[in-house]
Amino acid sequence: MWAFGKAYDATFITADPGHAKADKPRGGEAKTRRSKDGTWAKKNGKSYFGYKLHSKMDTEHGLIRDIETTTASVHDSQVDLSNPGEVVYRDKGYFGVKPEGYDATMKRATRGHPLDIRDELRNRRINKKRARIERAFAVMKTVFSAGHLRVTTRARVAVKMIFTAFAFDLYHLRTIRHREAA
């Protein structure tokens, strides 16, 4: 069993798609409050417009170590934040893509190849390690209200996400300090 490593995941950051017609310009020349470079993505039958925050969290302390912001249509497996030599805990969205570090990606059943009991137990162990990153996304979206942004470009969303990740780390450090004091 692995001791420490990095957990990876991604979440949608929604933006305003606007209500303009298709023939109106989108991009740098658009004079609108709607997102200029956001894209559409679909997950579990629900459509999202905007961006995606990919993040890497330290499983030992629960602090965000690295982030990248992309448009919503970029698949999770297209972004690799891993470094050589680190254990990488990832969900099934990264199945089939090798990281630079040690691969601890959850297995996914494929057509004609169901998961056996060992793979299901392995997935549970990995999920316990990577579950902490879901809390980070929940805090970012609820406490810091960063789930829907009104900025209009990916670069501006990236800056907002850097500050949000920094704020989460400070918030979590306070939690760690209170646990150690008790």
Q: What are phi and psi of 27, to 5 degrees?
A: 130, -155
Whether the Cβ atoms of residue 72 and residue 39 lie closer than 8 Å to each other: yes
Domain ranges of the chain: 6-181
Share of the chain above pLDDT 90, in %: 59
- Model pLDDT, residue 168: 97
Whether the Cβ atoms of residue 4 and residue 58 lie closer than 8 Å to each other: yes
- CA gap 6, 25 in Å, rounded: 41
- Model pLDDT, residue 8: 92
pTM equals 0.86
Write the single-letter amino acid at 115.
L
Q: In the structure encoding, which two tokens stand for residue 170, read together?
A: 């400070």
Q: Which residue shows structure tokens 């760690």?
A: 176
Share of the chain above pLDDT 70, in %: 90
pLDDT digits (tens, 9 = 90+) for 24-69: 555 556 555 667 888 899 999 999 999 999 999 999 899 999 999 9
pLDDT digits (tens, 9 = 90+) for 111-125: 999 999 999 999 999
